[in-house]
């Protein structure tokens, strides 16, 4: 199922919670998760009807999204890494490879990432603190 294979990033937006994901999963999110999707360049965003990140994570897991596909503020949920000031590495959200290359002209287009391992191409990557 395509929609379960992308990465879902739960972020705080305005005074609510939002879900960021690659737009390849857009119809899956609309039809299966039942969220309204807003598209902005390469990233799709949905406002979430939840008050806490735990509720959002629980809902996604109930809908069949694997925990390793869920991130909170860009950090993988399952690894529950601590962020802040420490060096982070970029990791492919599909296969976990660190062979991530950033493409696109800085300042002109939003960064786009390509995984040299599995061919993933998208605006979302995981950042893992090492």
Q: Where on the chain is the footprint of Zn ion (CB under 5 A)?
A: 92, 94-95, 97, 115, 117-118, 120
For Zn ion, the closer CB: 60 or 115:
115
Pairing relationship of beta strands 126-129 and 88-91 according to DSSP bridges? antiparallel
For Zn ion, the closer CB: 48 or 71:
71
Residues in the chain: 130
| HEC-encoded secondary structure of 17-85 | EEEEEEHHHHHHHHHHHCCCEEEECCEEEEEECCCCHHHHHHHHHHCCCCHHHEEECCEECCCCCCCCC
Minimal distance, residue 16 CB to Zn ion, in Å: 31
For Zn ion, the closer CB: 24 or 97:
97
Give the burial string for 28-42 (b: 16+ CB within 10 Å, else e): bbeeebebebeeeeb
Minimal distance, residue 31 CB to Zn ion, in Å: 26
Minimal distance, residue 92 CB to Zn ion, in Å: 3
Minimal distance, residue 62 CB to Zn ion, in Å: 26
For Zn ion, the closer CB: 56 or 93:
93
């Amino acid at each position: 199922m395509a929609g379960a294979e992308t990465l879902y990033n739960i972020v705080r937006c305005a005074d609510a919670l939002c879900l960021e994901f690659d737009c390849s999963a857009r119809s899956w999110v609309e039809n299966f998760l039942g969220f309204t999707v807003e598209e902005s360049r390469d990233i799709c965003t949905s406002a979430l009807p939840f008050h806490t990140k735990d509720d959002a994570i629980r809902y996604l897991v109930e809908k069949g999204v694997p925990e390793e596909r869920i991130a909170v503020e860009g950090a993988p949920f399952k690894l529950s890494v601590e962020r802040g000031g420490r060096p982070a590495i970029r990791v492919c959200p599909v296969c976990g490879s660190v062979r991530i290359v950033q493409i696109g002209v800085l300042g002109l287009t939003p960064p786009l990432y390509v995984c040299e391992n599995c061919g993933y191409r998208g605006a979302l990557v995981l950042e893992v603190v090492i």
